[in-house]
Each structure stands twice: as C-alpha cells, then as structure tokens.
A and B are shown apart, each in its own frame.
Chain A
Amino acid sequence: DTEVTQTPKHLVMGMTNKKSLKCEQHMGHRAMYWYKQKAKKPPELMFVYSYEKLSINESVPSRFSPECPNSSLLNLHLHALQPEDSALYLCASSQVPQGRRREKLFFGSGTQLSVL
C-alpha cells in the first residue's frame, strides 16, 4: 500500500461552518504534511508533523487547526474560513521527516475546498 488517502475529495462550506479534512497512510511513515495549493500555483507548506508532534507551522492562521491522532492519521480542522481559503488541500507523508536525507514525499489526491 503506497497510497495517501484523503477525504472528502470535494467540500463546500460556509464561513460559519466547522469541518474537518482527513488524511490516512499505512506505509509506516512518521512524517505527515499539509499543503495548500491554489489553481495553477505550486503547493505551499502549512504544517509538518514529525513522530506525531507538530514540528513546523508556517504561520498559518488559527482558523486552520491540525491534529495527528496517531502515526497513520492526520486531520485538518477548519473553522470560520474565508472565501480566499478556497484551494486544493494536499496531504503528504514521508518515511521520516525530510532532513538531510533524500526522503520522498508521497502526496494524496487532495480535497478541493470551496468557501462560500
């Protein structure tokens, strides 16, 4: 199993809603990532979890709240989002956190989020 599975694939939410994005991998990877990607743009790193602990927060607004319940699961809780938060949210994982080693990132297919 070399997949990173993300659910849902599409999500439409209002600015007052609370929703969660889910990501799952069963490759035994110990680093998991959230990226945000706008159309025709490169992915932007949001968060990195290393051994289930938050290791990087790229100054992401608090309306995005990550959670790593265990080594296979990664959630992104959304609350009071703005229309400009509409984007493709990608989850990725790597065997260990990318440091000096050439760790490969495996990406999920993403959740296409629309905030109305």
Chain B
Amino acid sequence: GEDVEQSLFLSVREGDSSVINCTYTDSSSTYLYWYKQEPGAGLQLLTYIFSNMDMKQDQRLTVLLNKKDKHLSLRIADTQTGDSAIYFCAEKGSGNTGKLIFGQGTTLQVKP
C-alpha cells in the first residue's frame, strides 16, 4: 500500500541549514508536497514538486527528489526560530480521488 515515512525530530541552531527527509512507496506518485504546521494552526503548503523534476528551489527552500530511491528532502537555508514547526511530507495517492498520504511529520526545533 501507499506509505510515507519521516524521521520524527530534528534540532538545529539558528543560522544553520535544516534537512528534513522523507521516503515514500508509491512509484506512481505525480506530486509530492511539503506542509508546515505551527502550534495551534492548520497546515500551510510550503512547496511541491512534480515527479519528473529532480530539484525545485524557492527562496530559502530547496526540494530534492530522488525518484529511483523514492526519497524526498526539504532543505531550509539559514534556519530561523520562526521555522520551528512540524513539517509533513505528503504524496498524492494513486487514482483520481486526490487523497493525500501524509508522513508522520518531523518536528523541527531551532535553537537560538
């Protein structure tokens, strides 16, 4: 079945780069997403990548996709305390239901 896995916790110092990793199982995934959730808030779409791309950059965010290994990563450059949140990787499930399959979420802690 479809499954998305992430490490649960990452701690970095302010100003360092953060790399959050994700693996998925559905090779037919067309789009992969990164969502951010701050405490007490809903999910905010950060970025997404189409499966025929290897990399996508958007300001401080870089998404890398290794389709062969079904590995997705999100790199945040110059990490700030405001980046502290839970980051969810998600893939669009197979078929046309559009159901998103979420990973367990990685809690990013940024220390001053």
Partners in one complex: yes
Interface size on A, residues (CB 8 A): 28
Which residues, 64 to 112 on B, are CB-close (under 8 Å) to A?
86, 88, 90, 92, 96-100, 102-105, 107
Known: A41-B105, A42-B88, A104-B48. Is A98-B41 also a contact (CB below 8 A)?
no
Chain B, interface size category, equals 20 to 34
Q: Does any Cβ of A come within 8 Å of B40's Cβ?
A: yes
A59, B92: Cα distance in complex, Å: 19
For the complex, is B7 an interface residue (Cβ under 8 Å from A)? Answer: no
**CB under 8 Å from chain A, chain B span 8-24:** none
Return chain B residues, CB-CB under 8 Å to A94.
98
Q: Which residue of A lies closest to B90 (CB)?
A: A42
Give me the interface of B with A, judged by CB distance under 8 Å: 30-31, 40-45, 48, 50, 86, 88, 90, 92, 96-100, 102-105, 107
Give me 5 other A-B pairs in contact (C-beta within 8 A), A48-B99, A98-B98, A100-B30 excluded: A48-B98, A56-B97, A102-B48, A104-B48, A107-B42
Query: Could you show 27 A-B contacts with beta carbons less than 8 Å apart?
Result: A31-B98, A40-B105, A41-B104, A42-B88, A42-B90, A42-B104, A42-B105, A43-B88, A45-B99, A45-B100, A48-B99, A56-B97, A90-B42, A90-B43, A94-B98, A98-B98, A98-B99, A98-B100, A99-B96, A99-B98, A100-B30, A100-B96, A102-B48, A102-B50, A103-B98, A109-B41, A110-B42
